[in-house]
Amino acid sequence: MARNSSGTADQTPVGIIGAGPAGLMLSHLLHLQGIDSIVLELRSREYVEKRVRAGVLEQGSVDLLNATGVGDRMKRQGLVHEGIKLRFSGEEHRIDFRKLAGRSITVYGQQEVVKDLIARRLSDGGDIRFEAQAVAVGDISGQPTIRYRQAGDHRELRCRVVAGCDGSHRVAASSMLDDSFQVYERQWPFGWLGILARTPPATDELIYAHHERGFALHSMRTPEISRLYLQVPADETMDHWPADRIWDELRIRLNEPKLKPGEILEQGITPMRSVVTEPMQRGNLFLAGDAAHIVPPTGAKGMNLALNDVNILAEGLVEYFRSGARDKLDTYSERCLRRVWRAEHFSAWMTGLLHRDPAGDPFEYKLRLSYLRYVTTSTAAATTLAENYVGFDPGPTPLA
């Protein structure tokens, strides 16, 4: 058996694999209820705090961060948006979230959420082990163990429960999946080339642009930093995209003359996938966030789903550790999946609506334009978009 340096296996009630939004928030929620956990994270603290990804928080996520005492910086620096703009065929239409759905969204980088959670966990005495790679989870129907590598050593963590919050790497999932599970999956024939750039946003709200050359998105992180995306083929590499080409293409697709090129701080291409694992649990192993499901980023749902999952999981764990009752734990997957599938549908719908289908014919293209016009002129259709974007199901009340 693998041991730590003192020759004994470490123990914790809850072993958490992954220090993304899901793993960190779960550890924080449990701490607030007096339950210890240990978080194992493959990467360094610096790496996870700089990893640029999501940036849109639904109101339910904002409420969770505020209610659990980690929302102060978000309240000061987050940008509250009451709508988005849709551009196509030289037209611009605004989807007014406040008017149509009664709620707003907050633009605040995922890496900022991660920084806030790490700072709080560490100041609360939390145990986050960076550069610790989980390699397998064993005995998930009894007292599970996580085998992991850290600083060249093979170690083991004994737990009563393991939360697999390891994103799309799926070490935790692969420890439980067999023929009794269903993994629903769709590969999209394109990806997103994303840049983070030092240039003031040319817009006060996100612009989603449908263009015959492909989709583009203008988002932002601060009044000085913009986040911009281009649809590219699924197998594209950055070698074909020097900075000039990126800026030219953004200007054409976004139809935004105010957008000024700036220093590119970060760039990369993300393939687009839809994945759902059902159920999200087995025995004492529970998957949360991207470890259980992936959405294409068009609907801005990934981080929000991750936070929602762990809020539900924490509720079940608190009941279990306080009374031994497993009712809420045993229905964890069922309670998450309803919302997950709504988000999967919305994300696939937005993706299909806004992207150019590489295999599509001119008829298909015209149908898409007609649908975009419908969505932007029918109050019922615009409301569908608005209420799903801000979060159709407000989710459970924050635990803390």
Ligand X SMILES: Cc1cc2nc3c(=O)[nH]c(=O)nc-3n(C[C@H](O)[C@H](O)[C@H](O)COP(=O)(O)OP(=O)(O)OC[C@H]3O[C@@H](n4cnc5c(N)ncnc54)[C@H](O)[C@@H]3O)c2cc1C
Binding-site ranges for ligand X (CB under 6 A): 17-23, 40-43, 48, 53-56, 110, 133-134, 165-167, 169, 171, 192, 194, 270, 289-291, 297, 300-304, 306
Nearest distance, CB of residue 370 and ligand X, angstroms: 27
Is 108 tagged catalytic? no
Q: Which residues contact residue 180 at a Cβ distance below 8 angstroms, ignoring those fewer than 6 apart?
A: none
Nearest-angstrom CA–CA distance, 52 and 54:
7
Closest CA to 247 of 272, 266, 233, 264: 264
Nearest-angstrom CA–CA distance, 256 and 195:
17
Nearest-angstrom CA–CA distance, 93 and 87:
6
Q: Which residues contact residue 145 at a Cβ distance below 8 angstroms, ignoring those fewer than 6 apart?
A: 9, 137, 138, 139, 156, 157, 158, 159
Catalytic-role residue among 229, 297, 320, 355: 297
Is 389 tagged catalytic? yes
Considering the complex, state which of residue 19 and residue 386 has its C-beta at the smaller distance from ligand X.
19
- Residue located via tokens 């699924």: 234
Is 21 tagged catalytic? no
Considering the complex, state which of residue 191 and residue 398 has its C-beta at the smaller distance from ligand X.
191
Nearest distance, CB of residue 164 and ligand X, angstroms: 9
Q: Which residues contact residue 302 at a Cβ distance below 8 angstroms, ignoring those fewer than 6 apart?
A: 53, 54, 289, 290, 294, 295
Is 301 tagged catalytic? yes
Catalytic-role residue among 81, 210, 211, 293: 81
Region for residue 90 given its phi and psi (left: phi exceeds 0; alpha: psi -120 to 50; beta: otherwise):
left
Catalytic-role residue among 28, 108, 148, 208: 208
Considering the complex, state which of residue 100 and residue 217 has its C-beta at the smaller distance from ligand X.
217
Is 50 tagged catalytic? no
Nearest distance, CB of residue 204 and ligand X, angstroms: 17
Nearest-angstrom CA–CA distance, 110 and 304:
10
Nearest distance, CB of residue 268 and ligand X, angstroms: 7
Considering the complex, state which of residue 27 and residue 284 has its C-beta at the smaller distance from ligand X.
27
Considering the complex, state which of residue 304 and residue 376 has its C-beta at the smaller distance from ligand X.
304
Report CA dihedral (268, 274, 278, 280) to the nearest 10 degrees. 30
Considering the complex, state which of residue 279 and residue 365 has its C-beta at the smaller distance from ligand X.
279
Considering the complex, state which of residue 107 and residue 399 has its C-beta at the smaller distance from ligand X.
107
CA 341 and chain centroid, separation = 15
Neighbours of 332 (CB within 10 A): 22
Neighbours of 225 (CB within 10 A): 17
Closest CA to 230 of 252, 242, 214: 214
The half-sphere exposure of 346 on its side-chain side, counting CA atoms within 13 A, is 25
- Residue located via tokens 């899901």: 22
Which sequence positions are flagged as catalytic?
81, 208, 297, 301, 389
